[in-house]
Every structure is written in C-alpha cells, then in structure tokens.
Amino acid sequence: MGIIKNIGALFRSSVDLEGHIDTEAAERSIRNNIFFRGPNAWILAIAIIIASVGLNVNSIPVVIGAMLISPLMGPIFGLGLGLGISDVQLVKSSGKNLLVMVVISITASFLYFLITPLSLSNPTELLARTNPTIYDVLIALFGGFAGIFEQCRKEKGTVFAGVAIATALMPPLCTAGFGLAGGNLGYFFGAMYLFFINCLFIMLATYISVKYFKFRQTEYSDISTGRKTKRVITMLIILFIVPSIWSAVILINQNRFEESAIAFIEHSKSYGKSIIYDYKIDHTDGSTIEISFVGEPLDESTRGNIYNTAARYGISKESLIINDHTTTESVNEMELVKDIYDRMEREISTRDAEIERLRAELQSTQNDKIPYKQLAQEIASTYPAIHEVHITRGESIAMKNIEHTKSSIIVAVQTSTEITIEERNKLERWLKIRLNEENIKLFTIVNNEQPSDDNLQN
C-alpha cells in the first residue's frame, strides 16, 4: 500500500499546476499578439507565399518552415480569451484582426498562384487541405490546449512553434488562394471550411482553459452593462461552439462511413465473375460510395447480395452506387478498357524504368571490372622478375579533407630482384593506360622466394 501511495503522490505532484501558471502574464501576452499591422502584416504575407511555394511543389519541409515564421495564432487565442473573461472589446478587436489576417493571407496566396510559373500538374498537398476530417478537429482542439498552456506557464518553451505546425492554419489559406486563382470555388470553400474548423476548436480549447485557470473576469461599473455584456458573450459562445460541435459530429460520422466503406470493399473484392476494380467515396450530398465493376453483367440476385453485404457494414442502399460498366453503352466500355490499358501502361513504364536503371548499374559494374588474369599474363610476359601481382580497386581519402574521395587502383608486385626506377615508372604508365585509370598506386616488394600454388590458393 505504501508503494501505491508513493506512486499516487508522485503522479499528483507531476500533474499539479500550482505555482506553474501565470494568468496575468498570459493575458498580457495574448492581448499584445492579436494585432496585424506593420512588420507582422508583411511577415504574414511573406510566410504565406513561402507556404504556397511549398504546397505548389509538394515540399513539406518548406511548408513547416513557413508555419514557424507565420504569426497566425494571436487573434484566435484573443477570441477564446475574450469569450472566457466576458470582454466584448477584446472579442471585437480579435475578430477584426482575424479578418485582416485572412484577407492578407488569401490575397498573398491568390497573387502567387495567379503568376507562378511552376507546374500544378499534381498538387496533392494543396488538395489535401480541402476536405477536413475528424483528425483535423482533434489536432486543432488539443493543439489549442497545448498553445494556451504554453501561454499560461511561467517557464516558456518551444511548444508554441509546435502548435503552429500541428494545427496547420496556414495551408488551408494557401489552398483558398489557389482555388480563387484557378476559378475553382470548390477548393476555396473546402479550404476555408477546414481553416474555420481549426480556428473554432483552437478557440474552444482556449475558452475552456481560461475558465479552468480562472482568469480575472472583466468588471463593469454599470450592472446593466455587465448583464448586457454577459448576454452578448453567451450568444457569441453559442454561435461559435454549437457549429464546432455540429461540425465534429458530421466529421465523426463521415469518418465512420469511410471506415465501413473500406471494410466493405476489402470483404467484397468479387461477385461471381465480376470484380470491383475501383471505388469512390463522396460526402458532397450525404455520404455515398460508388463501386465500379468489370466482368460479366450483374443480375438482380447478385445486386441484392451486394446490397445485403453493404447493409451488414452499415451502408444503406441509398448510400451505395453500383456502376456496372458491362451493362453500359459501348462508349463507356471503351472508356473502361482505356482506363485499364492506361493503368497497365503506367505499370509497365515504371517497371521498364527500373529495369533500365538496373541495366545501367550492371553495365557500370562490368565496365569497372578489372581483367585480373589477363593483366597478370601481360605483366609476366614483359617483366619476368615479377612473380606475384596483387590488384584491388578502392577509394583514396586525403586526411585534410576527409569528405573528398576519389577512386584508385592499388597494384602491389612481388619481384625476385630489385627493379629499376625507370622500369617501375614504365610499368606504372602502362597500368594507367591499360586500366584507363589515372590514379594508380604501385608498390614493389622484393622477395626471392617463389610463391607456391598452395600459398596462392590460401
């Protein structure tokens, strides 16, 4: 029992926040960081352009660097703090600055994508910011908790930089600018939805933490003004929190549908002589899954079996779209064949490229191979005094610059008598020409004892 008590005491002391929190300093810091004017506005625009470049070329490190530069979090924490301490003026000021931040960000990304010469043939990182999931909600919520904890604790650390990266406020704004520049409102609204989801849950985490840490409430000299303010704050809390909870519920349901749909596809690879070759999940107008078959036509019995199987995974008949290509017009059949042909062509191209790479690597290895026996015979015919040759390929490294290496061939010859310097130089020049290698290291060893066959084998 004593050990359990000690462990419990250690745990309580580890999680106890007493003496580690300074709410007054946190409030001052949040109030000072909500404004976007002067250098902050320019830094934000520059960071947005850097992030847009990173998303444009699918470079995650560049996007992370831009997130570290960007001062995006201030107004969002300001909104959460204002709601928590019933300060309407702080809420108004934070809301205005959040709007300024959004306008600057979208304008900068819009201008970049409007004039960029870089290719947008495969903007996967951009498109990933148009469809929020429940994971985005969880990241924003717990990221918000981490951020407000960092603001409140006395010993500041590096948590804030990590929160800026994890909550990913900047990429959706870049994607919104991309959508506007390309005239694609679907990308724009999807990205803005993700951005405001992140904002709402960071703000919700801040509001809960402000209440938990018991920040000093705003005092009003007029009781009626105080009551009116509290009513306004209550309405704002409902306005912000209810949509965030509703969005979370929707995203949770969508996530569950996707898990069920994928499990259904894994279980239902084929029906008779028809197989599922593709599927698509869509949440535009309710959650639906469209499955495409190839093979023999599906009869009513088989279709009924598919619907029954889907129902066991929680997918209703209305949510399942069966696309039976075998029963469509010839144009669709041709499209199906072309689709399969294109996939096979891509696979063959990938394999051909890999085969070509391996061939080039093999050819390079063969080109570097030294003809040991032929070389030994040629040396023996010209230099009878040489009775043993050691040849190896390696790398020479200068100790003053250990990072710099160059290929070399080391040749050690064992002779029965001392060879002259002239003979040695002649042999070295011949080896350079014969092996097509300038960096030859030649060593001579005088040994009157002729090597036996057993010694050579050993």
What token pair was written down for 417? Answer: 């008598």
Segment holding 18, helix H or strand E: none
pLDDT of residue 107: 93
Q: How far is CA 70 from CA 44, 64, 103, 130, 337, in A?
A: 5, 10, 15, 21, 49
Euclidean distance between CA atoms 430 and 386, whole angstroms: 15
Q: Helices in 392-452 by DSSP H: which ranges? A: 421-435
pLDDT of residue 428: 84
What token pair was written down for 232? Answer: 């306004």
Which residue in this structure is represented by tokens 């309710």? 286
The residue with greater pLDDT, 327 or 386, is 386
pLDDT of residue 18: 67
What token pair was written down for 221? Answer: 């000299």
Mean pLDDT, range 162-171, rounded to an integer: 68
- 237-268 pLDDT, tens digit per residue, is 677 667 767 777 887 888 888 888 888 888 87
Query: Which of 408, 388, 400 lies closest to 458, judged by CA?
Result: 388
Strand order, beta sheet including 274-282:
270-271, 274-282, 288-295, 320-324
Which residue in this structure is represented by tokens 């990933």? 128
Phi and psi at residue 316, to the nearest 5°: -75, 165
Q: Which of 11-25, 282-296, 375-389 has the lowest mean pLDDT?
A: 11-25
Residue count (the chain): 458
Give the whole-number percent of the chain exceeding pLDDT 70. 76
* Top mean-pLDDT range of 136-140, 248-252, 256-260, 395-399: 256-260
Euclidean distance between CA atoms 433 and 417, whole angstroms: 25
- 321-354 pLDDT, tens digit per residue, is 887 754 444 445 556 566 666 767 777 877 887 8
Q: How far is CA 160 from CA 241, 336, 337, 381, in A?
A: 23, 51, 53, 76
Q: How far is CA 300 from CA 4, 176, 292, in A?
A: 65, 45, 16
CB 310 within 8 A of CB 320: yes
DSSP secondary-structure letter at 452?
P
What token pair was written down for 428? Answer: 């070295």
In the predicted model, what is the mean pLDDT of the chain? 77
Q: Which of 9-18, 85-94, 216-225, 359-368 has the lowest mean pLDDT?
A: 9-18
What token pair was written down for 185? Answer: 């409102």
pLDDT of residue 19: 64
Strand order, beta sheet including 401-415:
386-398, 401-415, 440-446
